[in-house]
């Protein structure tokens, strides 16, 4: 597969990473996601990585970059479903991800986005688009 599909659920973009990402695929995801954040006016980005058994330093950095870039575009990125082994690797690699929020489940991440929107006085994040 050449690209990782980006699913739009209301105001939120959802990406489920299931393949071991080589470097070019990771860069492509970064480009596609930032483009879609602007195009779809997304308020949040959920990157689901429960399938990933390992994360190398490059991929770790790309995920951190995605979070930083989307925040600049006023969309919060939350990494969802990280395995304990991946968390250990991240720390061992010295990737602090100080700006990256994490959640164990998609539902929990959606709640975090709602709470963040409420706290900043914005409209609530739609997880289902009203027509």
Counting contacts by CB under 8 A, is residue 81 touching a copy of itself?
yes
Task: Closer to a copy of itself by CB, 68 or 83: give it.
Answer: 83
Pick the closer one to a copy of itself by CB: 50 or 65.
50
Of residues 32 through 71, those in contact with a copy of itself by CB under 8 A are: 48, 50-51
Choice between 7 and 91, CB closer to a copy of itself: 7
CB-CB contact of 62 with 30 (8 Å)? yes
Shortest distance in whole angstroms from residue 92 CB to a copy of itself = 23
Sites of contact with a copy of itself (CB under 8 A): 1, 3-5, 7-10, 14, 16, 18-19, 48, 50-51, 81, 105-107, 110-111, 114, 127-129, 131
């Amino acid at each position: 597969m050449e690209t990782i599909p980006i699913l739009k659920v209301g105001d939120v973009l959802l990406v489920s990473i299931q393949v071991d990402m080589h470097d070019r695929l990771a860069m492509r995801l970064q480009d596609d996601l930032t483009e879609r954040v602007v195009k779809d006016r997304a308020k949040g980005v959920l990157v689901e990585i429960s399938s990933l058994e390992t994360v190398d330093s490059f991929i770790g950095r790309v995920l951190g970059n995605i979070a930083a870039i989307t925040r600049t575009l006023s969309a919060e990125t939350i990494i969802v479903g990280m395995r304990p082994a991946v968390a250990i690797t991240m720390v061992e690699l010295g990737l602090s991800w100080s700006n990256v929020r994490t959640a164990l489940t998609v539902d929990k991440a959606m709640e975090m986005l709602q709470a963040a929107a409420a706290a900043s006085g914005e409209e609530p994040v739609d997880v289902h688009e009203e027509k």
